[in-house]
Amino acid sequence: MSYIDRYLSTHPVMRSRLQLVGVTCLLLAAKYEEIYAPNIEEFCYITDNTYSRGDVRLFAATLTACCCAKAEPGGTCVIQ
């Protein structure tokens, strides 16, 4: 939830791309929290293949840059 809040507080998002924001934030959170994170293809399947693997990867890079730039003091960016 923190990733979504951080991103949406600074970037306006069209309604049609909101699902991409949500699924990408879920992917990044799973990479951080889970021992075996799901594949990107599984997240594409969740969206009924609305977004491709490339779409999710590209937006993940954008989101990672945004969230890591605003990391809490003393925190490290482990999402890559």
pLDDT, tens only, 9-28: 888 999 999 999 999 999 98
- pLDDT tens-digit profile of 53-66? 999 999 999 888 87
Q: Identify the pLDDT of residue 7.
A: 87
Q: For the chain, give me the number of helices (H) and strands (E)? A: 4, 0
Residue 72 — pLDDT band, cuts 50, 70, 90?
low
Quote the CA–CA distance of 66 and 70 in Å, as a whole number: 7
The answer, as to whether pTM is greater than 0.85, is no
Say which CATH architecture domain 2-69 belongs to: Orthogonal Bundle (1.10)
Q: In sequence order, what DSSP letters do the residues of 59-78 get, joined into one string?
A: HHHHHHHHHHHTPPTT----
